[in-house]
Amino acid sequence: MENIKLSRCVISIKGQTPDPDYPVDIWFDSLKSVANVLPKENQQLLKVIAERQPQSVTELAALTERAVSNVSRTLKTLGKYNLVTVQK
């Protein structure tokens, strides 16, 4: 069974001056890059993870009414940006 862990991170776009109180975890080249990684569907997925804390990809897929393969792919993408960590 895979466990999904959500952690909070600060995102910024290159060229912006970050708030010194909140060190930036993830830098994007543009706002378009942020939009590509975090469309509404992916934002909803992160919200479900935070609120419901599913214990598996299958459970998360059921909660979001998305295919397991789709959720798995999305988690891999979000994982590349350290937005989620999937533990096997």
- pLDDT tens for the 88 residues of the chain, in order: 456 555 567 788 888 888 888 888 888 899 899 899 999 999 999 999 989 999 999 999 999 999 999 999 999 999 988 888 888 7
Residue 87: DSSP 8-state: E
Query: CA-to-CA distance for 30 and 32, rounded, in angstroms?
Result: 5
The residue with tokens 């109180």 is 21
pLDDT at 9: 75
pLDDT at 5: 57
The residue with tokens 């706002």 is 31
Beta strands in the chain (DSSP E): 3-6, 11-13, 26-28, 84-87
Containing 34, the helix (H) or strand (E) segment is helix 31-37
